[in-house]
Amino acid sequence: MSTFRRQEVDDWLRRVLPGRCLFCLADSEGGRPWCEACFAALPWNHTACPRCGEPQPGRARGRVCGRCLRRPPAFDRTRVALRYEDEVAALMQRFKFHASPRAGAVLVALLEAGCRLPPGEAPQALLAVPLHPHRARQRGFDQGRWLAERLSARLGIPLRRAWRHRDTPSQRGLDRRRRRGNLRGAFRVDGPLPERVVLLDDVMTTGATLDALARACRRAGAEEIEAWAVARTPLELS
């Protein structure tokens, strides 16, 4: 099915099925695109390393992982709402590869629901992980920028721009060390940045992309940096 046709189907479903859960088509409440049962059943990333967001099984749950103790990332904390599994993976693929606006809107709402900030801890700027312009033209849109614009409006966080000035090869199939090398010097951020900033990506795998962007942000003046993502790949897939 073409991207245009998928968008037509999304628009039609939104019109003819108001108040219905996106996942099971049961009744939803309060204008939300999900029902309470499906929302609770999503693969939430509650027990994760607070530094890198990697899901932590067993007794390690919620502690800083050994990898971050050995080599801390350039960002200080990670908030990742969900694990990249099941319905979340399907929703993300509809958004990234078929440009579904409804899937994107649901992902933004889930990110907001899973990354609630304590009072007084709002960041001063939000930066999306950018695609290289060549890659964005191939895909038809920059999904990180799309998410960031909507999250910025929902949370009232000013949006700042980062640039990817090297069209780096795909990260797929690379180990952590090669991912870091692949992204070295790939990003530019014009400063000065405020003290507290948040970096946003759609899916976080090893954190190498956010680490490279965080280093560029520190060079531009940021001092406290959080990494946010909609979903994190499970431990065995990172």
What whole-number distance in Å separates Cα of residue 48 and Cα of residue 54? 5
pLDDT at 137: 73
* Average pLDDT of the residues in 4-22: 56
Q: Provide the pLDDT confidence category of residue 50 given band limits of 50, 70 and 90.
A: very high
What lies within 8 Å, CB to CB, of 60 at 6+ separation is none
Q: Which of 232, 216, 238, 230 is nearest to 114 (CA)?
A: 230
In this model, does residue 55 exceed pLDDT 50?
Answer: yes
**66 backbone dihedrals φ, ψ, rounded to 5°:** -60, -35
What is the gyration radius of the CA atoms in the chain, in angstroms? 18
pLDDT at 13: 47
Q: Provide the pLDDT confidence category of residue 131 given band limits of 50, 70 and 90.
A: confident
In this model, does residue 16 exceed pLDDT 50?
Answer: no
On whether residue 61 sits in a domain, the answer given is: yes
Is 169 within 8 Å of 207 (Cβ atoms)? no
21 compared with 31, residue with greater pLDDT: 21
* Average pLDDT of the residues in 131-159: 86
- What's the mean per-residue pLDDT of the chain? 83
Q: Provide the pLDDT confidence category of residue 141 given band limits of 50, 70 and 90.
A: confident
On whether residue 20 sits in a domain, the answer given is: no
Read off the pLDDT of residues 87-116 as tens digits, 9 standing for 90 and up: 999 999 999 888 888 889 999 999 998 887
This prediction's pTM = 0.84
Residue 117: give the domain boundaries. 42-237
On whether residue 35 sits in a domain, the answer given is: no
On whether residue 30 sits in a domain, the answer given is: no
On whether residue 18 sits in a domain, the answer given is: no
On whether residue 230 sits in a domain, the answer given is: yes
On whether residue 34 sits in a domain, the answer given is: no
pLDDT at 47: 87
On whether residue 32 sits in a domain, the answer given is: no
CATH classification of the domain holding 142? 3.40.50
pLDDT at 211: 94
How many structural domains are present in the chain? 1
pLDDT at 18: 60
Amino acid sitting at position 66: G
Q: Which of 198, 189, 187 is nearest to 125 (CA)?
A: 198
